[in-house]
Chain A
Amino acid sequence: MLEIKDLHVSIGGAEILKGVNLHVKAGEVHAIMGPNGSGKSTLANVLAGHPSYLVTSGEAIFEGGNLLGMLPEDRARAGLFLCFQHPTEVPGVRLDHFMRAGYNSIQKSRGLDEMDVLKFDRFLNEKVGIVEMDRNLTKRSVNEGFSGGEKKRNEILQMAIFEPKMAILDEPDSGLDVDALRIVAEGINQLRSPEKALIMVTHYQRILNYVVPDSVHVLIGGRIVKSGGKELALDIESQGYDHIEKAAESLKSSR
C-alpha cells in the first residue's frame, strides 16, 4: 500500500530524515518508535503533505501513486489520514461543520453522494460512541478549549468518519491517562481491517499493548536503525533507545 524509498527531508535547511525506507502492506500495523527529535513527527507530517517540510530526495508511492507530488487535500482524498499529535485549534469553525466539509469533499472527489446536515448529524451520532465523546463537543469550534484527551479522541473520531485506507497516528497516546488511552486504543482497533493499514508513531511502548503491531521500526537520527516484530517494542521499553542505538552502530561498524 505504501512504499517509502530513501526519503530525505529537511526543514529550515536542517536535514531531519536521512534516507528512510519503509514498506507497509494492507492489513498491517507498523509502529515507528524513536527518541525525541529522531524525526518521527517529520515522517508523519511529510507523508500528509505539510508545506513546511522540504523533500530533498527519495519517493513515497501510495496505492501506486506518487504521494509526494500530491496536494495535502488530494492525499486525504486518496485515502491517507494523519492523526495529529497536536491538533490545531480553529476558532470560529464548528467541529461538525468542519468534519462535514471534509467528508463531503472526499465523497465528491470519488463521485460519491454528499451528506446533508441532517444525514451527517445522524452519522456523527453513531460515530461519537466509538471514542465515547460528548456529542456537544462537536458543536463547538474545532479543538478550541478541548482538553488534551478530548483533542486525541477528536482525532480518532475523525479517523472513524473518514475511514481512511491508511492512517498515520502521530503519538496518539501522548498525554493520556490510562482510561483515555484505553478508549483511544479501542477506537483505533475498531478501525483495523484487512484492507486498511496503520502507522503508529510513538515514543512509548504502552499503547502497543493495546494496538498490537505487526512490525516495529526504530527511528534514530533520521534513519530506521532497526526493524523487528512486536517484541522489539518490549526490548526498547526495558533497555532504552541508547542500547538499540549502540547496538545498531556496532553492527554497522562491524560490517
Chain B
Amino acid sequence: MKDVPFMTQRPATQEQAYLAALESFEANGYANDPSWAHELRKAAMFRFQSLGFPTSRRGNEEWKYTDVGPIAKTPFQSLDSAALSRVDAADVDVASFGDSAWSQLVFVNGSYAENLSSVSSLPAGVTVLSLAEAMRTMPDLVQEHLARHAEYETRAFTALNTAFIHEGAFVHVPDGVLVAEPIRLLFLSTSEEKEIVSHSRVLVVVGKDSKATIIEGYGGISDGSYFSNAVTEIVVGDGARVEYYKIQQQSDRAFHITTTDVALGKDCYFSSINMDLGGRLVRNNLRVLTEGEGSSSMLNGLYLVNGTQHVDNEVIIDHAKPYTTSRELYKGILDGKSRSVFHGSIIVREGAVKVNANQVDKNLLLSDQAEADTKPAFWIYCDDVRCGHGAACGHMDENALFYMRSRGIDEKTARGLLTRAFVSEVIESIANEPLRSQVDGLVQAKLQEWLES
C-alpha cells in the first residue's frame, strides 16, 4: 500500500469564496444598510456555510434529478455594484415585456439601474422602489416582511441569496388599492471575463382587498455563462388579487435558480405563471402557503427545452387552511437531449377541510433522447378533501398527425399546429392581454425554429 500524502491544507471551496465576498461587501457597498440587514446576512451566510450546495446523493429527493455541481464548482464573481454602461435602453426594450408605458425597475447583474428604470402613473400610496433604497427609507415596513417567508434554514440557495440581501425590488400596495397597470421587474445579466453571480431579491406586499400584477423578466444580454440566484417573496393580503408572471429567457449557458415563496391571506386570489424559455441549468422552487381560509390559486408553467438544457420545477402548495383551492398546470416541450423535472407537492394540513387541489404535468417529447421526470407527491392529513393529479409524457400523436395530413396539411405544418396546440392551454391562462400575445409570439418563434431545424 502506498502512502497517501497528508493533506495539510483544505482546498478553498466556492462556499468559502462567497463568505470572503460578503465580508468585503459589508465593509463597502453594504455599509449603510440598517443593522438588522447586516444581522440577517450574517445569519444566512452562517446557514449557507453549514448547508453547502445541495448534492444529488442518495436520499436527497429534492435534488435527485438535478445536479448543481457545475454551480458549486464555478468560481463566480460576486459584485456589490456593477458596471452598468454595457446595457442601454435598446437592450432593455428587447428584453422587456408588456407596454413600455408600464412601470419598470431594471437590474443589471443584480444592481439597480436607475437610469434604465421608470416608475409612472401609480395610484397614491403604492411603492415601487429599489430594495436598497427601501431598506433606508422605510426600514420598518421592509423588515416586517423581508426574509420572513423565504425560509433559509434548510435551503442553500435561499440562504445564499439572503446572505447577499441588499439589492432588488420592493413593491408595496396598501389596503384597498387597485393597481391596474402591471409592475415590471427586469433582471439582466451580462457576460464578463469572470462569470458573474447575482443575488436579486424581490419583496411584494399587497394589502387587503388590493389588486396588483407583477411581471418578472430574466434575461441575458449576451450568450455567456453567469449565475442568477433570485428569491421573491409575495404577501397576498385578505381579499386581494395578485397575478404574478415570471418569464425567463436566460442565455443558453446560464445557471438560473429561483425561489418564490408566497403567503396567501383569507379569500384572496393568486396566480403564478412561469415561463422557462432559456438557461442551461434551471431550477424554480415555488412554494405557496395558505395562511387564511378560502383562497384560490392557479399555478401554471411552461418550459421549452432543447440541446442539453435542464429545467427543474418544484411546486409546493401547502393547504394549511380550510376551503382553499389550487389548480396547477405545467407543460413542457422537450427536444434534443434535454431534460425536465417536475416535483409537484400538495400538502393538506390537519383540519384543512374542503380543500380542492389539482395538479397536472404534461410533456411532449420531440426527440427520443429527451427525458421528462414527473414526481407528484401528496401529504394529506385531512379526510374531507378533493385532490387529484395527472401526468403525461409522450411523443406527438401519430393519429392526429395523419388526420391533419389526410386533409392536405403538410407534415411540418401539422407538427407545428400540434405543438402550438399543446402549449396553448398554458398561454391562454395568461390573463394580461399584451403580455399573452408577446409570450405567445416568443413561444411560437422558438417552436418554429426547432421545427425548421
Contact = CB atoms under 8 A, between A and B. Distances in A.
B403 A90 contact: yes
Contacts of B397: 88, 90
Interface of A: 48-52, 71-73, 75-77, 81-82, 84, 87-93, 98-99, 101-103, 105-106, 109, 141-142, 158, 162
A93 B422 CA distance: 9
Given A88-B400, A98-B417, A49 B425 contact: no
Nearest to B419: A92
Name which of B406, B417, B418, B420 has the most chain A CB atoms within 10 A of its CB.
B406
Nearest to B416: A101
Contacts of A51: 398, 402
Contact of B424 (A71, A73, A92, A158): A92
Nearest to B424: A92
A101 B406 contact: no
Contact of A109 (B399, B406, B408): B408
A51 B403 CA distance: 11
The list of the 5 closest CB pairs from A to B, nearest first, reads A92-B421, A102-B407, A76-B408, A72-B405, A106-B408
A158 B398 contact: no
Nearest to A52: B398
B404 A102 contact: yes
B61 interface: no
B410 interface: yes
Interface in B311-353: none
B409 interface: yes
Given A73-B406, A90-B404, 5 more contacts: A73-B405, A90-B397, A92-B425, A102-B409, A109-B408
Which has the most chain A C-beta neighbours within 10 Å: B398, B403, B409, B417?
B403
A105 B400 contact: no
B418 A93 contact: yes
Interface string B387-417: 0000000000111101111111111010001
28 contacts: A49-B406, A50-B402, A71-B411, A72-B405, A72-B406, A73-B405, A73-B406, A73-B408, A73-B409, A73-B411, A76-B408, A88-B403, A89-B400, A90-B404, A90-B418, A91-B421, A92-B424, A93-B417, A93-B420, A98-B407, A98-B409, A101-B413, A105-B408, A105-B410, A105-B413, A106-B408, A142-B403, A158-B407
A48 B408 contact: no
Most buried by B among A73, A109, A158: A73
Interface in B352-411: 397-400, 402-411
Interface of B: 397-400, 402-411, 413, 417-418, 420-422, 424-425
Nearest to A87: B403
A81 B407 CA distance: 7
Interface of B is mostly: helix
A47 to B, nearest CB: 10
A111 B421 CA distance: 28
A37 to B, nearest CB: 20
A50 B424 CA distance: 27
B403 A76 contact: no
A102 B417 CA distance: 12
Contacts of A106: 408
Contacts of B420: 92-93
A77 B413 CA distance: 15
A90 B402 CA distance: 11
A170 to B, nearest CB: 11
B451 to A, nearest CB: 15
Nearest to B407: A102
Contact of A76 (B407, B413, B421, B425): B407
A202 to B, nearest CB: 20
A101 B417 contact: yes
Contacts of B398: 51-52
A91 B417 CA distance: 11
A253 B72 CA distance: 81
Contact of A90 (B408, B421, B425): B421
A158 B422 CA distance: 23
B399 A88 contact: yes
Nearest to A109: B408
Q: For A51, A52, A75, A105, which residue has the most chain B Cβ atoms within 10 angstroms?
A: A105
A227 B421 CA distance: 45
A48 B403 CA distance: 10
Contacts of A87: 403
A73 B406 CA distance: 5
Contact of A71 (B405, B407, B421, B425): B405
A72 B402 contact: yes
A33 to B, nearest CB: 23
B344 to A, nearest CB: 21
Nearest to B397: A88
B398 to A, nearest CB: 7
Contacts of A109: 408
Nearest to B423: A92
A77 B407 CA distance: 8
A254 to B, nearest CB: 42
A142 to B, nearest CB: 8
Nearest to A94: B421
Contacts of A91: 421
A171 to B, nearest CB: 16
A76 B405 contact: yes
Contacts of A101: 404, 407, 409, 413, 417
Contacts of A49: 402, 405-406
Contacts of B408: 73, 76-77, 102-103, 105-106, 109, 162
B407 A162 contact: yes
A60 to B, nearest CB: 15
A252 B418 CA distance: 50
Contacts of A82: 406
A97 to B, nearest CB: 8
A85 to B, nearest CB: 12
B421 A73 contact: no
